[in-house]
């Protein structure tokens, strides 16, 4: 009977360790796509993937004064710098092209520009971005040590 109690405690500790990652504040989203969409602007669709519900202004495709291309990581993963989520899709416009637009395309025009309605192979939320001191190195370490399953998998 003592063995069962110890195993139960160990299970509980593992669950607690995973739950301790904070998911408030700017999130650390990493993902892999079916093909290379890293240069293309993401927009957000509804859960049914029938309507675009969020999109950036041309001035919003920057992060810290540079175009917000995702950061390459180990094993083909990308670190989001723009606001990618489970319902994101990518338009046929690159960040550079989109940033030069005088106005946002209409929703109908954007729908016609979608490259793939299901672009993601995997997406993980690694918690609050501020928890990392050396973001790329630490995330690559997580990937290389096969520790992604300790984090919130979105797909």
Asked if the structure places residue 13 within a domain, the reply is no
Domain of residue 113 covers 23-153
In a domain, 105, yes or no: yes
Per-residue pLDDT of the chain (155 residues; tens, 9 = 90+): 333 333 334 433 343 344 356 667 789 999 999 999 999 999 999 999 999 999 999 999 999 899 999 999 999 999 999 989 999 999 999 999 999 999 999 999 999 999 999 999 999 999 999 999 999 999 999 999 999 999 999 99
| Total domains present in the chain | 1
**pTM of the shown model:** 0.82
By residue count, the chain amounts to 155
Does a structural domain hold residue 131? yes
Please choose, from the candidates 65, 70, 103, 102, the residue with its C-alpha nearest in 3D space to the C-alpha of residue 84: 70
HSE of 85, CA atoms in CB hemisphere, 13 A: 14
Task: Report yes or no on 127 lying in a domain.
Answer: yes
Q: Is the residue at 16 inside a domain?
A: no
How many other C-beta atoms lie within 10 A of the C-beta of residue 64? 6
Strand-pair partners of 89: 43
Residue 110 belongs to some domain of the structure: yes
| Eight-class DSSP state of 130 | G
Question: Residue 124: inside a domain, yes or no?
Answer: yes
């Amino acid at each position: 009977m003592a063995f069962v109690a110890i195993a139960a405690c160990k299970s509980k500790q593992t669950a607690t360790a995973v739950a301790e990652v904070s998911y408030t504040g700017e999130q650390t989203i990493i993902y892999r796509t079916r093909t290379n969409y890293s240069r293309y602007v993401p927009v957000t669709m509804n859960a049914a993937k029938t309507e675009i519900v969020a999109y950036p202004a041309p001035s919003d495709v920057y992060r810290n004064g540079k175009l917000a291309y995702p950061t390459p990581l180990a094993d083909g993963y990308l670190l989001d710098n723009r606001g990618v989520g489970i319902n994101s899709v990518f338009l046929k416009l690159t960040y550079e092209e989109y940033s030069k637009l005088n106005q946002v395309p209409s929703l109908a025009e954007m729908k016609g520009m979608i490259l793939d309605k299901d672009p993601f192979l995997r997406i993980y939320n690694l918690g609050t971005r501020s928890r990392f001191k050396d973001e790329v190195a630490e995330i690559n370490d997580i990937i290389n040590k096969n520790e992604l399953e300790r984090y919130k998998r979105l797909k």
